[in-house]
Amino acid sequence: MSTSAEGNAPAWQAEIAALQATLAAAIAAADDAAALRQIEVDALGKKGSVTALMKRVGALPPDERRAYGAAAGQARGAVSAALAARSDALAQARLQAELDDRSFDETLVGSSTRRGAVHPLSLVRRDIEDVFSSMGFHVLDYPEVDSEFSNFEALNIPSWHPARDMQDTFWLDAGHLLRTHTSAGQVRTMHRLGGEPFRAIFPGRVFRYESTDASHEHTFHQVEGLMIDRAPAAGGPGVSVGHLLDAMRTLLSAIFGEAVQVRLRPGYFPFVEPGFELDIACRNCGGAGCSVCKQSGWLELLPCGLVHPNVLRMGGLDPDQWQGWAFGLGLSRLVMMRYGIGDIRLMLSGDARFCEPFVAGC
Ligand code: PHE
């Protein structure tokens, strides 16, 4: 039944060779990726001409099938290889064309990615956390929306107290407010850690409903410090103003990397007794007077004092048994001092250029 006699090549051999030659010519003539893809589909796709060859093997006499399968498979391989080679050649040609294009200048500087920076508030906060952690302080975090109780009442500032006017408040509904100071965390901390002596700092954002200028901002940062120990009457070491000042000096010299000129004034805060204002010489102007220090040469940086007995009581601690000191560091002011920033409003301006000098801090 076969038309091919011994020694004569079967007809399909020429047919396969012809198809392969046609495809090779088409591939060589294809001059873009789309044309190449079309040839690939027409030849190797489901209904492609080469695929059709493969399917025909069953129609041949059994003794020719093996040779036919091998020839068809070889054709398929050759076509795929030719497609891949042509595709590479086209890509190479495209690249060369781009390089030859005189409007392409490989010596031009590319667009660079800008490196991020750490905000100076974060840099200084981290330093402070390091100093205090090394002295055995917990670093705690409290909500910015707090209760009237935590922010005022627990701190010995009942609603009729004139001290409420010292801190103009953003009131929310139902006895809630934006905390006006990190002192709002004091009594929470006593409830959390009390019963044993403890030391803790709690840095955070605070809010005051007031008009802004170079040294006032409605949103700024503080770091509260609180240390509680047993009173001598309860067999403890007690907590004195001397301890407080020593801790404050350690803090300031660690932050500025050198001894800092300070002055202590009596200060009134209902939650400390005695209370102090610790001022440092303005480093923006060197004490000569500028807009940051309101021409006084000094900056209020560190209000502090011994914890008032009423506050200890609110924290569940018996004032006969326990004593403590507290401070409320003006973190924003400290950052301004350390880096010579002349206007507090720059700090939360959201202007990325403000952080650029601090890139090295990452
Ligand atoms: N909370 C006070 C303020 O923001 C500062 C302060 C804290 C004073 C702790 C004494 C002790 O003004």
Extents of the domains making up the chain: 11-98, 120-361
Closest atom of ligand 1 to 222 CA is 4
Q: State residue 8's pLDDT score.
A: 66
Expressed in angstroms and rounded, the spacing between residue 20 Cα and the centre of ligand 1 is: 89
Expressed in angstroms and rounded, the spacing between residue 182 Cα and the centre of ligand 1 is: 8
Phi-psi region of 102 (alpha: psi -120 to 50; beta: other; left: phi over 0): alpha
Confidence of residue 1 (pLDDT cuts 50, 70, 90): very low
Average pLDDT over residues 162-184: 90
Closest atom of ligand 1 to 167 CA is 12
Closest atom of ligand 1 to 327 CA is 9
Examine the pLDDT at 319 and tell me if it is beyond 90.
Answer: yes
Predicted TM-score (pTM) of the model is: 0.68
Examine the pLDDT at 300 and tell me if it is beyond 60.
Answer: yes
Percent of the chain predicted with pLDDT > 70: 97
Ligand 1 pocket, mutate which of 167, 168, 244, 269 (most atoms under 8 A from CB): 269
> Taking the C-alpha atoms of 100, 101, 102 and 104 in order, what is their torsion angle to the nearest 10 degrees?
-110
Q: Which residues line ligand 1 (CB under 6 A)?
A: 181, 183, 269, 272, 275, 303-305, 326-328
Confidence of residue 322 (pLDDT cuts 50, 70, 90): very high
Closest atom of ligand 1 to 186 CA is 9
Pairing of strands 138-139, 198-207: parallel
Q: State residue 360's pLDDT score.
A: 55
Expressed in angstroms and rounded, the spacing between residue 226 Cα and the centre of ligand 1 is: 11
Expressed in angstroms and rounded, the spacing between residue 122 Cα and the centre of ligand 1 is: 21
CATH fold of 120-361, please?
Answer: BirA Bifunctional Protein; domain 2 (3.30.930)
CA distances from 44 to 64, 67, 356 (A): 23, 20, 58
User: 340-352 pLDDT, tens per residue?
Assistant: 888 999 999 988 8
Q: Which protein residue has the closest C-alpha to ligand 1 atom 2?
A: 328
Q: Which protein residue has the closest C-alpha to ligand 1 atom 7?
A: 328
Q: Which of 354, 352, 353 is nearest to 344 (CA)?
A: 354
Residues 299/279, Cβ–Cβ less than 8 Å: yes
Report how far apart the first and last C-alpha atoms of the chain are (Å, whole number): 85
Expressed in angstroms and rounded, the spacing between residue 191 Cα and the centre of ligand 1 is: 19
Confidence of residue 252 (pLDDT cuts 50, 70, 90): confident
Q: Which residues pair with 198 in a beta bridge?
A: 228
Closest atom of ligand 1 to 330 CA is 4
Could you tell me the two tokens for 30?
């294809």
Q: Which protein residue has the closest C-alpha to ligand 1 atom 10?
A: 304
Q: Which protein residue has the closest C-alpha to ligand 1 atom 6?
A: 328
Expressed in angstroms and rounded, the spacing between residue 303 Cα and the centre of ligand 1 is: 5
Q: State residue 176's pLDDT score.
A: 95
Expressed in angstroms and rounded, the spacing between residue 350 Cα and the centre of ligand 1 is: 27
User: 28-47 pLDDT, tens per residue?
Assistant: 999 999 999 999 999 999 99
Examine the pLDDT at 359 and tell me if it is beyond 70.
Answer: no
Expressed in angstroms and rounded, the spacing between residue 117 Cα and the centre of ligand 1 is: 31
Q: Which of 349, 335, 314 is nearest to 151 (CA)?
A: 314
Q: State residue 175's pLDDT score.
A: 86
Ligand 1 pocket, mutate which of 177, 178, 180, 181 (most atoms under 8 A from CB): 181
Q: Which protein residue has the closest C-alpha to ligand 1 atom 4?
A: 181
Q: One-letter amino acid identity for 47?
A: K
